[in-house]
Amino acid sequence: MGELETLVEKLEHGEFTLEESIRQYERGMALTRVCEKALRDAEQKVLALASDGKNEVLEDFTPDDDED
């Protein structure tokens, strides 16, 4: 996650050439997929621990708009 954050920051500040930016963007997308998989795995573990053997399904999280 830290590598992805650093990469995004450098891309936002224009620290790479165009060619290097494309390579780094591809790296960032790969890191994003790794993070998304880790999140899905963690969600499934939490669901398994909280379900007490029931066949529950994960629902999309929708944050409350009032929490600003």
Tens digits of residue pLDDT in 35-45: 999 999 998 88
pLDDT at 55 > cutoff 70: no
Compute CA distances 37 → 9, 10, 33, 44, 48, whole Å.
Answer: 22, 24, 6, 11, 16
Q: Can you give the pTM of this predicted structure?
A: 0.61
Residue % of the chain over a pLDDT of 70: 75
